[in-house]
Amino acid sequence: MSWPYLVLLALAFVLLVGAEWRRVAGGRGFKPLSLGAEARSARARQKRKANLKLVRTESDDFAASVERDLAELPTIEEKDRR
């Protein structure tokens, strides 16, 4: 092989790695550098998530009271059934 083919092969490899880098590195917890509109929307989403608050509803209180009542119920041991 001559050197122009080796250069083209190296450029093709670099292009392939650059195109697939986000997909390969994205599943491992590593965040690749994001630019432009995507980065702006990600920052906006993080800002919105920071302002979220947990709201307790009546259904949470109801579930807690049911669990408390079930824990207080008398149980029948195996030896008591005979």
Structural domain contains residue 79: no
pLDDT of residue 10: 94
For residue 55, pLDDT beyond 80: no
**Residue 47 domain boundaries:** 3-73
Structural domain contains residue 61: yes
74 compared with 7, residue with greater pLDDT: 7
Label residue 31 by pLDDT band (50, 70, 90): low
Structural domain contains residue 78: no
Structural domain contains residue 80: no
Number of domains in the chain: 1
Which amino acid is it at 23?
A: R
Structural domain contains residue 82: no
Which amino acid is it at 43?
A: R
| Mean of all residue pLDDT scores within the chain | 81
